[in-house]
Structure 1
Amino acid sequence: MRIPLGSVPHRATRPAAREPHVLHVTQPVEGGVARFVTDLATAQLAAGLRVTVACPRGGTLPHALREAGCRVLPWEATRSPGPRLPGEVARLARLVRDVRPDVLHAHSAKAGLAARLALRGRRPTVFQPHAWSFEAVDGVMAQAALRWEQFAARWATRVLCVSEAERRTGEQHGIVARWHVIPNGVDTSRFQPEGNVARSAAGPLVVCVGRLCRQKGQDVLLQAWPAVVRQLPAARLVLVGDGPDAARLRAMAPPSVEFAGPAADAAPWYRAADVVVLPSRWEGMALVPLEAMACARPVLVTDVDGARESLPPGHLPHCVVPPEDPDTLARALTALLLRGPLRAALGAQGRAHVLAAHDVQQTADAVTDVYRELLGIVTTLVVVPNQSRESITT
């Protein structure tokens, strides 16, 4: 039943049965996917769910999860498919038999591959791509990745996308799935304007946070950077992160570029920045712009999946550029650095937007509602007067 807007003032829900036990499976233990899993698992634990996470040892993810009180089980897996895949699938199948979760939630391509091969639809399975695997490769590999996603969608009870654009990309490539779209959210108490600020040199500071890899487009940013410095000689660029392209990027970087390495907490760098830039080649919906806006910093992003959906409308003329276009990127970045009042206005608008639309608690609640729907858990509607809410589905 759908209850139209305004017909009830407020709702609260109480599960009529125990909360579901969810097993999250992820291969990345650093970067955006790891941060998403950490925040989601932490919020679900706080809401009373039973949560287990299977992931490789190492990286920041296992420690952060254990600090939050989450059960973490080792699942050793390489980033790409290869000769170890059968063993990875078998280990995950044994782990699922031991854990006996109500729902398995697989994050990103490798976990999605192994989980769907291990379960083949025999248990409620949510697959969340966090950007499509076929966008990350070229040629024969891209064709193989796409054919797999087209075939394996039948083994996902839901394919959960972080943006409408990510869903459309899947549909346009012939993936037929039971879709659900839930935008990314971030911890707005952790990412906020107040707090520690990273060291920075005098002059305008541009910060780029992300894994140093082809997806994130730091090479395009370095191609654009000399044009920015010609207009603003005191400008500095800091790349925060590490990854497979680190050596190549260092070799092409001029002296005005600093490599800060990975940061356990990127918030101080966001707060120090005059502009946060993410020149990605592809995304689902990147966390970095949301985190930066939560810190009230202006962002400049490329027009890839999820970018426009993550920004408030007032940002679009100033803060979105085509991917792989260093000239346009340089002009837009220079324009933002030259306009202090505009940056302040964009920062304030961004913070308000994230609080309203991209708080991690909203994301966690919506994901948990998907689990409940799959498991047929009934909720009880409680009316509280004088508080308006949007329409409710029950």
Structure 2
Amino acid sequence: MEQARPSAKPRSASAEMPNLIGVDREEMAAMLRGVGVPDRQVKMRVSQLWNWLYVRGVSDFDDMANVSKDLRSTLRAHFTIARPEIVEEQVSNDGTRKWLLRFPPRGAGRPVEVETVYIPEAGRGTLCVSSQVGCTLTCSFCHTGTQRLVRNLTAEEILSQLLLARDRLGDFPDRDVPQGSMVPSSDRKITNVVMMGMGEPLYNFEEVKKALLIASDGDGLSLSKRRITLSTSGVVPEIYRTGDEIGVMLAISLHAVRDDLRDILVPINKRYPLKELIEACRNYPGVSNARRITFEYVMLKDVNDSLQDARDLVKLLKGVPAKINLIPFNPWPGTNYQCSDWEQIEKFADFINQAGYASPIRTPRGRDILAACGQLKSESERMKKTDRMAFEAMMIAGHGED
């Protein structure tokens, strides 16, 4: 495992100025009019800014070469496009990267921290994005669920995770590439985005929706909606809205096939039991064999991993175009659960495959830096203040400010 700090200290986001990241075109136009941009120029300026922010990935107004010096000065005086602060960057032995990011306070609140994870694989790279600081769901096997909810993230903060990751991975075009040039999808390091980080995305629906519609905008970040997956523990009313209003791929944190067990593992089941959840999946807009719903199933030894559980899972999902991801449980400090034996996981997978469902076993990634599924939790919740100060002093001494 490696730990790294940025080679140059980036300009971090400010709570004192509105950020142009995360607003839609209409909002951006209104913001520009508010600082004196003439009506006849607004549409052109919005188009320019959109390209610089989301195609070229700039985080400083001075880099916007085709924007006049006077307008750049006006923008700098009233707005920010800065990235969040990187508190810590870790690189796993398997190449997985995890960033602990700090966002400035909102209103009377305090600065908050979230974790974002990049998982490189053959032919693709997946970014796992957080939607909340902490979580309210208290899923008993999930480390994030042990951290109380602090607040929802804004669309700006959700998108900033993607922009910062692309910065750090060199995934934006070079500045000398002609304006308008796009990063070819085949060459992108981040090809897929999953809303599977900290929090329940559907308890922050409006901000997640705004962020994902910008991420999938064809004139900007241009991620295909088929390469964006939103994972929910089962907020049934918002599942329908997700299909209608966002149109991305859907994943369900299932983990149990009986209400009595799921009530324990995923307590939201008490409000939206399995019958309602599966009905919502069956009627998810656009669902088909070409656009299957992914069901995530963490393998817990002697809890949900019997062949009877496998039979009941097949029965439960009958008629739903589905793929079932089997996730070996990733341990975290203080948990009482154990991962199922590998032989049992393979038996479980074989049964489901024979029943006609794709059932890949997810390879655990980033376990050594607590970046695997179910392990995310703000580092500030794990480290005492004195430990943090000592860590930061060590990093500054070791890496300097150059």
- TM-score with structure 2 length normalisation? 0.29
Larger helix percent: 1
TM-score of the aligned structures, taking structure 1 as reference length? 0.30
